[in-house]
Amino acid sequence: MAARLTIVNPIAIPEGDTPTAVAFAPAPRPQSLDGLRIGLFWNGKNQGDVALDRTRHALATLYEGATFTTYLGDKGGLTRYASEPLKQQILAECDVLVGTTADCGSCTSWLIREMAAFEERGLPTVGWVAVGFEEDARFSAEVFGCPDLPFAVVPLPFTNGDPVRIAQMVDDAIPQVIEGLTTAPTAERVRPAFEHLTLCADETITYDGDDLLACFDAMNAHFVANGWSDGMPLVPPTRAKVDAMVAASGRAADEVIGVFAPGMGIGTVEKIAANAVMAGAAPSAMPVILAMAECVLADEIGLRTFAMSTGPQAPIVMVSGPIADAIGMNHGVCALGPGSVSQVNVAIGRTLRLIMMNVGHSYPGVSDMDTIGSSMKFSACVAENEARNPWAPFRVLEGFGTDESTVTVNVPYGVCELFDFQNHDPDLLIEGFATVTRNVAGSPSPGVWLVKEPADPSAGYPFNGVYHNVVMMCPEHADVFAHAGWTIDDIKTALYERSVLPFRTAMVNKPMPLFAASHPELAHLLDAPDTDVHLYPSSECFQVFVVGAVAGRSLYFHGGTVSVTRPVLGRAG
């Protein structure tokens, strides 16, 4: 007997596809660049300044009457954007603008955002984009309202390129720059069909088969083919299951929790519920899931940046409070998974990844450009081991009450073990920990303050002011510190004070021009490169979360964004 499976469509509608959305055409183009004022905008991405120098040389050779002015984004760190005053300056001083660089996931989106903003205000632009990031650039252009935005494509990223290779790529592609600045773009030229992006606006999706197992297989195959799967089998989000999840939330199905970057998908309670069902979450977890979603919607966490990056950033979810036990979360052995003991944890963490994909449209190859990937991206969720925490619960330290429950999300680049079976002296234990926190290549954040101009949190740029590295501390290590009278603030201060390296080492993977622009008052370090500098701006860049079972193995999640904490509303359903 034939079977049929009908599911609730978990794919969110992009904000740009709603009736009120407005797209705009690129600015009118000049017929020639002769005698024009050409701006060169660098977003801070490594080697982008080298590419712009060559761009200047190539265009100056062809257009003797042209003049050139170089601009560096004045907000942000290793990827920068222009403040409103700088935008106004560029608009006043330039007839056209060339921008660089779009050769990583998030920097592509940030550059396209800048170029689209200038186009909307009447300034023709072209951005340099590397092969492999064209779909990312087109995706971002549509999101920012200028789908026909032109850009020039080079065969390799400028990053790690020597000047000779960069010069050759620029010279070969300079006709694209000229065409983009002087010829009105057309949809056919700029917007070929997306290869890695398929959306669906239907309310439900139906699968037929010989039996329900065949329907299940058909659904999962369809999701894989369309890029909607995280690569593992998904639970069918049937109407009954989704309705149960919505009911447990205590909120209306069509209530909008927020608009999720990078695709600006409209995140209703129902869309979030459908993805939670697919992840294997139970209705009782829905209040935690909604708080988790609200965390990643906070501007200061920088969802667009970590969702699109070529880096392996992945959110970790930390639950503190009575809700954890009420819904069966694991705070002990294998709390991060895998295993049946952590099924609730794993399902909640997996839900966040599916929300990022199917609600936020962060899909590999178009809007998730991770160079290698990370197993952390599947799921990373734990509950606090409050019974073994010798200090105040994490939520209390974050300003919430003992009877409340909270969800905290941080987005680190990676994780490293803090191994120490030996020491019961806290000074020796912390010294061992600090050998891990003293690193540069582990992520962009150590030492990033040296090249950073604080940005408005509303811009969605991470690493502003305080950003957090998270120590998930096992109970044995916590006991060593607590028995010696150390507070969590003492631990944070000790890590900060020991996280130092010579200036030359801290800057080894960072563009020196960004340091000169950000900290002219520290120019003396250029003549004293062996001077030790702090890798983090303050002790508040560290957090401690007690979790785990017996044995002296803690974890250090490094390179994280600011941690965002939200209360869990409602009760376990």
pLDDT recorded at residue 150: 95
- pLDDT at 446 (0 to 100): 92
- Give the model's pLDDT for residue 552: 84
DSSP 416-427: EEEE-SS--SHH
Q: Give the Cα-Cα-Cα angle 83, 75, 297 (nearest 5 degrees).
A: 95
Q: What is the pLDDT along the chain (573 residues), one digit of tens a residue?
A: 599 999 999 999 999 888 778 899 999 999 999 999 999 999 999 999 999 999 999 999 999 899 999 999 998 877 888 999 999 999 999 999 999 988 888 889 989 999 999 999 999 999 999 999 998 899 899 999 999 999 999 999 999 999 999 999 999 999 999 999 999 987 655 555 667 678 899 999 999 999 999 999 999 999 999 999 999 999 999 999 999 999 999 999 999 999 999 999 999 999 999 999 999 999 999 999 999 999 999 999 989 888 889 889 999 999 999 999 999 999 999 999 999 999 999 999 999 999 999 999 999 988 888 889 999 999 999 999 999 999 999 999 999 999 999 999 999 999 999 999 999 999 999 999 999 999 888 888 899 999 988 777 777 666 566 789 999 999 999 999 999 999 999 999 999 999 999 999 999 999 999 999 999 999 999 999 999 999 999 999 999 999 999 888 999 999 999 999 999 997 554
Say what the pTM is: 0.94
Site of tokens 């200038």: 118
Domains and CATH numbers, the chain: 37-184 (3.40.50.10350), 214-499+535-567 (no CATH)
Residue matched to tokens 């982008």:
48
The residue to which tokens 């008052």 are assigned: 521
**447 Cβ contact partners less than 8 Å away, ≥ 6 residues apart:** 440, 501, 506, 507, 510, 533, 535
The bridge status of strand 80-81 relative to strand 96-102 is unpaired
Tell me how far apart the alpha carbons of residues 91 and 69 are, in angstroms, rounded to a whole number.
Answer: 12
CA dist., res. 468 & res. 536, Å (int): 10
Taking the CB of residue 79, how many other CB atoms lie within 10 A of it?
A: 24
| Order of all β-strands in the sheet with 67-72 | 67-72, 37-42, 96-102, 125-130, 151-154
Q: Which of 123, 462, 181 is nearest to 305 (CA)?
A: 462
Q: Give which of 366, 351, 354, 260 is closest to 308, Cα–Cα.
A: 366
**CA dihedral for 359, 361, 364, 367, sign (positive or negative):** negative
Cβ neighbours around 403 below 10 Å, total: 8
Q: What is the pLDDT of residue 464?
A: 60
Model pLDDT, residue 456? 75
- Residue pair 447/534 in contact by the 8 Å Cβ criterion: no
Burial class (CB in 10 A: 0-12, 13-18, 19+), 138: buried
